[in-house]
Chains A and B, each alone.
Chain A
Amino acid sequence: MTFDAISIAGSGLSTHRIWLDSLSDNISNINTAVSPNEEAFRQRYVAVQADKNGPGVEVVGALFGDPEGRLVYEPAHPLADENGYVRYPDIDLGEQMSHLILAQRGYAANAGVVDRAKATYEAALQIGRS
């Protein structure tokens, strides 16, 4: 428990990093086409909750978006079916980018807490010296 605030901020850092990872996975697969008889790339959502066993935050799992995606008429595409359609994931890039900003800012805020907690603990270690 000695340096609690640092590990609490650490849980926030890793949660936001996992969120950033899943967002970048979603964005990198935004144009991943498959043939219409396969499932589209499923967008990943990170499920989090306040840590049940004390302060901090924890990732409790991943939820996946809809495998339906959207059908696009691209007859020249090598994966197109006989009607000329291919399946793309239905991911909203604007939403992903705004979540990316939230995740990045959340990560930076937690990094700031680590810095300030360190300054406090350093002050505490000076008690009784002089």
Chain B
Amino acid sequence: MTDDQLRELYGRALARGDSLPSNASGQCVAPEKLLGLVRREGTEELRLQTLDHVMACKACRRELDLLRALEQAGVEMGVGTEGRPGWQTSAPLALAASLLLAVGIAIGVRYSGDQTDVPRGGVEAVVLLAPPERVAGDQPVAFAWRPVPKAHQYVFELLDAGSGRTGTPAFSRTTSDTSLVLEPAQLRRAGEYQWWVRALTPAGALASPMRSLRVRSE
């Protein structure tokens, strides 16, 4: 059975409520435990127990998603780092990354009128490989870039470049891979976007040029 088949069947089990162990019905985890999971507080065993229930319970999944969105928004605004051992050390880096992003967006906005790529990070900038400039809106879009030596993480940003929304972040993710796939639902709408990738290395961050992406409505 393929992963996709398993996903489809599990999705059905989730929708029917079959995925929840019979002894766990009506025993949703306390909100504080959900927050602990998001903030990586408590033992790993406890967090795995919480996650096990959450991933089998539609209602708890929505609640976890809400808390994750809140926490991430807090971190991205530089205020949501209290009480998180795993994130405390990365707070200055996140702040620096936000500043770098803000500068990047400002440059992107300034140069959005012409089609020339905006170089960031000098000659060693991240090389973007895919997708092409125009993609269909009803298909997943695969983004790929060339590995950067010693990079431990890559920060991917997709910016809305439609009229009146230029430079608004539409999606971002930090990953250790050199590719990621966005589902049509994650792109949310057809239109103009721009995207770029920053490579985080021990020596600092290197960035790609900004690349345009037009998502066609099919």
A joins B in a complex = no
